[in-house]
Structure 1
Amino acid sequence: MNSEHMQIGEVAARTELSLRTIRHYEETGLVIPSARSQGGFRLYTEADVARLMVIRRMKPLGFTLDEMRSLLEVTDRLDSDEEPPPGEREELLDRLRGFERAAQQRVEDLRTQLSRAQEFAATLGQRLPRSPAP
């Protein structure tokens, strides 16, 4: 096997995603193994791992599969060897800016949720009787 390719188990370990999750992303077209071994095993490259890491980072922010697909289409086009025409490039960058704004807003929303959860946990802790120090 080519050393540039990894089997799904190694990819799962590197991305901290389950085999099942990686297969699901494959079924939905978010990531496609770059090759197959002679035995039919999925083979992935560093680019595939990077793509899965983008997906993994979007998931906790609540992005849908369609939103993930849309962002990946934008980044694929921007990263392509073929430079998009200036009008298309600006449209792609606008879409990318929209994703960046959405991600920043979702991070802020999560910070607010975390703060409220910490306040709640502290309130519960205050209700518990304090045991005397030994």
Structure 2
Amino acid sequence: MTARTGTSTMHIGELAERTGLSLRTIRHYDDVGLLPATARTEGGFRVYSEDDVERLMVIKQMKPLGFSLEEMADILELFSSQEAGAAGNAKAKLAAYLEKAVAERAKMARNLAQADQLIERLSGRG
């Protein structure tokens, strides 16, 4: 059993505990190709690395912003190519994703402000 980088590996339960995601969600991300296991044991159990923890945290950050699985995969690939020194249209694509993320966050902030107003009203303060 070998990891992509380093020697520290973990099973899916530890990955779930460290990221706050369910086993089912992690298995789903594996099934759709967003988070393939670094390796498998002889018994077929998934094994993950520290890089996988980081990748999963990025996926977790993208999820509430409404990115599709395809967009998530593209963003992860762009991050990987960026780390490898590739440029070109990667920067333009990342800028477009940044614009979408900023717009979605602004929408979430507006919704949160509305929720706060309702909470104030319900508590008799508004």
Common fold by TM > 0.5: yes
Q: Give the whole-Å Cα distance in 2 for the aligned partners of 1:35 and 1:45.
A: 9
How large is the Cα RMSD of the aligned pairs? 1.6
Q: 4+ residue stretches of structure 1 with deviation over 2 A? A: none
- 1:69-124 CA-to-partner distances (Å, cap 9, x unmatched) read 111111122223xx43xxxx131011111111211111111110000011112112
The residue number in structure 1 matching 2:71 is: 67
Q: Which amino acid is 2:100 matched to?
A: A
Q: Does 1:92 align with 2:90?
A: yes
2:126 paired with 1:122: no
Matches of 2:80 and 2:28, distance apart in 1? 20
Secondary structure at the residue paired with 1:126? coil
User: Which protein has the larger Cα radius of gyration, Structure 1 or Structure 2?
Assistant: 1
CA offset at residue 37 of structure 1? 1.3
Which runs of 5 or more structure 2 residues have no equivalent in the other structure? Answer: none
Percent identity of equivalent pairs: 42
Q: Note the residue ranges of structure 1 that are not aligned, 5 or more in a row.
A: 128-134
Residue in 1 aligned with 2:102?
104
Shift of 1:48: 0.9
Give the aligned length.
121
